[in-house]
Structure 1
Amino acid sequence: MNAQLERVGNSLSETKNEYFFVTRNRDAVKKGNIIEKELTINGKNIKNYEIQLPAIIGGGFKNIVPMLEYKRILSKWLKENVNKYDVIHAIDYDVGSVAINICEKYNKKLVYHIADFYADSRLSIPILAKKILRKKEYNIINRASVTIICSEDRLKQIEGSQPKKIIVVHNTPARKQTVTKKDIKLNEKDNLLLTYVGGLEKKRFIDKVIPAVKEDTNYKLFLAGSLGDARESFNDIDEIENVTYLGKLPYEKALELYENTDIMFAIYDPNHPNHQYSAANKVYEAMLMGKAIIVAANTGMDKIVKEENMGYIIDFNQQNFSELLTHISKNREELYEKSLNAARAYKKYSWEEMKNRLVSLYEELN
């Protein structure tokens, strides 16, 4: 289950509201069908209407036609089922741009949840188109009942809009922290185990991590997630002794993978405008699991990592990464301390606090 979706569902399960999900399956084979499924959240089975519409991860302009088709299908479904809901919790622009008009037409409320600010999330968008998209997204923010952003830094990103109400909900996993000091352990001294689960794209350093790790068999790398534009790096992955690709994993399995790693990484390209305000799930997952993390400088996440002394900050290049791995391998006690600091930082961003913010929001909407 998508982590963002789980956070919303977990919070709603704490209220008296009835709810369901409308999602999209980007790995679908057939186009356009809507399959009724069930998701289990907090022991409850929740209806999930899943739109079957494939897309290419990191596909850019190749996804324009599928995106327009998705918006058409979603709009039609929301209109035909308008009596099933009073509020739409829309995550990101594609959904929000459809939902805002329907909410106003049928007197519904819109919670607009910005995971990625659209105009800054795609490098391939021309400058004029970015200006138009920024204005359109500001328009959704201004008209929505509530806007949710994932960090205080994002207030700067949406300067120029006039939200009616805004709350910050950090991307903390919907889990209670159970890690204690005695749980924080590292693997064998001569080995360094790294793990990443997520979109396998060049803008997330994946094409640089693999060649850096395979140079030294004392390093072991586990990767999982959907193949994006870094797929060429996976052509001979089975032949690399110390790199393992596990395909797509359920979220629980991803957390289990992190539990057994020495260090995590979320190295995003700082030249990507949206990454300058990034608040990757992985930073909060590192806190939850008590793991140090590597991030790139000037990507939003570096502020938290530096403030909490919970990891390492590098430039977005392979040499800097390779040098850091050598340093970490020779400084295991330092790695342990940073892992411990990650666990301690969790209190500031705990799921209990984030959940309470969402629950209070839903109660106010009632």
Structure 2
Amino acid sequence: MTRMFEKKDPAEKTVLMLLSNEYRPDPRVEREALTLLSEGYRVKVICWDRKCSRVANEFSNGVEVERIRTLSVKEIRSFIFNSPFFMIKMILRALRTNCNIVHSHDLDTLFQGVIVSKLKGIPLIYDAHEHYASMVFEDVPHLLSNFLDSFEKSLVGKADIVIAANERIAEILRDSSRFEPVVVMNCIDLSELPNNAKQRSREHDKLVVFYGGSLEPLRYLVEVTKLAISSQAFILRIAGSGRLADYIEKMSRESSNVEFFGYLSHRQLLDELKNADVSLCLLDPKNKNNRIGIPNRLFEAMALGVPVVASEGTLTGEIVKKHSCGLVLEWSEQNFLSAINALRDPAVRKKLGANGRMVAEKEYNWESMKSRLIAAYSSLSF
């Protein structure tokens, strides 16, 4: 179905993306932005420099980036305190921006997108990376989480296109959306894969397990870190930022079995993943967002031919099991160590990795996903 809006000059097709992180860049957002650039759109990102540490304005690979500052955000309370100021600033900046499409990434920019869309008379695209209410469920009062769920449902119907990061998120949004949600998964562009990553020299024969991503609870990071130290059965390499960063850094100073890199660029992260024997994609299924979400590392590991360890009861685990590209387990120390023991066999790792690579080439790649994004944008008739 084609959505009709006030006629614009096609040469002026400008997309304004709204984002609540600092755009380091965010891999999904950058991938979408570069795809739109290649289709002749101009793309601008207005985002939130939460730590007040990035440049205010820049061009990144052709994408114009404008960063908003508030007081520095260090934890959940300061995030909640600063959010209203961020939202107001974002709306004011967006209204001053010459654009004819507004693209809100996640719930924390959807309200701003609705206001901008209404006042400018331009189409709104809502891009749900997560089910936001479930993502924050463990960190905020449940009343607030329930409010966010209802708030999202009340706003989704204002969007002219709804994009979801996977089918489970699309299912949640479907009843509230005026149109069928478009599923655009966080798959890697195979051309981004490192072909000449520097191979790390090894002075050991231990399995190398890599985790890259948010260092937050409910991902078994503390448990796996303790096992790496106590069992001496594997080397654990961790990259990322979050509330558990200080703990993991401390453990890395105390044990040579734990290596901590801090935040890495996406390219550096892919290099480390390629050097690993196993990719860690464990998520505690008691959290709904963990059950329905898919970490970016899953598709990247598959594309690199690195076997994955995932959790039973999660969508990630279902994908791993379906395509035999890793091992799926219910968390226990014994189950995890059994998986590590099974993955010591190079033949097992090679087979699981090859399975992942094969399905990444056929299905889980950005070439497949970007056609959905382009088709969705093409349905907006100017």
In the superposition, the TM-score normalised over structure 1's length comes to 0.88
| CA distance in 1: counterparts of 2:82 and 2:373, whole angstroms | 31
- CA drift of 1:365 comes to 2.0
| CA distance in 1: counterparts of 2:314 and 2:268, whole angstroms | 27
Given candidates 94, 98, 121, the residue that maps to 1:107 is 121
Given candidates 334, 346, 350, the residue that maps to 1:332 is 346
The residue number in structure 1 matching 2:5 is: none
The residue number in structure 1 matching 2:9 is: none
| CA distance in 2: counterparts of 1:219 and 1:243, whole angstroms | 9
Given candidates 29, 43, 48, the residue that maps to 2:65 is 48
**Matched residue type, 2:359:** A
The residue number in structure 1 matching 2:38 is: 14
**Matched residue type, 1:101:** I
| CA distance in 2: counterparts of 1:159 and 1:144, whole angstroms | 12
Are 1:35 and 2:35 counterparts? no
**Matched residue type, 2:43:** Y
Output one character per residue of 1:118-174: Cα deviation in whole Å (capped at 9) or x when no partner. 221112333433332222111221110100111122233335413324200011023
The residue number in structure 2 matching 1:121 is: 135
Output one character per residue of 1:189-239: Cα deviation in whole Å (capped at 9) or x when no partner. 932111111111122221112111123445222111113245324324222
Output one character per residue of 1:212-268: Cα deviation in whole Å (capped at 9) or x when no partner. 112344522211111324532432422211211111111111111111111101111
Are 1:269 and 2:281 counterparts? no
The residue number in structure 1 matching 2:6 is: none
| 177 and 250 in structure 1: CA distance in 2 versus 1, 3 angstrom threshold | closer
**Matched residue type, 2:93:** W
Structure 1: gaps (5+ residues) = 181-186
| 196 and 169 in structure 1: CA distance in 2 versus 1, 3 angstrom threshold | same
| CA distance in 2: counterparts of 1:133 and 1:235, whole angstroms | 35
| 334 and 213 in structure 1: CA distance in 2 versus 1, 3 angstrom threshold | same
Identity %: 21
The answer to whether the Cα contact below 8 Å between 1:100 and 1:110 also exists between their aligned partners in 2 is yes
| CA distance in 2: counterparts of 1:250 and 1:71, whole angstroms | 27
Are 1:170 and 2:185 counterparts? yes
The residue number in structure 2 matching 1:95 is: 109
| CA distance in 2: counterparts of 1:288 and 1:95, whole angstroms | 31
Given candidates 293, 312, 319, the residue that maps to 1:304 is 319
1:240-319 matches, cutoff 5 A: 240-319=255-334
Are 1:65 and 2:89 counterparts? no
Output one character per residue of 1:320-353: Cα deviation in whole Å (capped at 9) or x when no partner. 3233212322x33212211111101111122111
- CA drift of 1:288 comes to 1.5
| CA distance in 2: counterparts of 1:160 and 1:130, whole angstroms | 19
| 364 and 179 in structure 1: CA distance in 2 versus 1, 3 angstrom threshold | same
Q: How many residues align?
A: 349
Secondary structure of the residue aligned to 1:215 is helix
| 154 and 188 in structure 1: CA distance in 2 versus 1, 3 angstrom threshold | farther
**Matched residue type, 1:67:** S
Output one character per residue of 1:102-123: Cα deviation in whole Å (capped at 9) or x when no partner. 2112101111000112221112
- CA drift of 1:91 comes to 0.6
**Matched residue type, 1:22:** I
| 202 and 133 in structure 1: CA distance in 2 versus 1, 3 angstrom threshold | closer
The answer to whether the Cα contact below 8 Å between 1:35 and 1:50 also exists between their aligned partners in 2 is yes
| CA distance in 2: counterparts of 1:113 and 1:18, whole angstroms | 18
| CA distance in 2: counterparts of 1:125 and 1:239, whole angstroms | 33
The residue number in structure 2 matching 1:184 is: none
| 6 and 69 in structure 1: CA distance in 2 versus 1, 3 angstrom threshold | same
The residue number in structure 1 matching 2:211 is: 196
In the superposition, the TM-score normalised over structure 2's length comes to 0.84
Given candidates 155, 163, 174, the residue that maps to 2:170 is 155
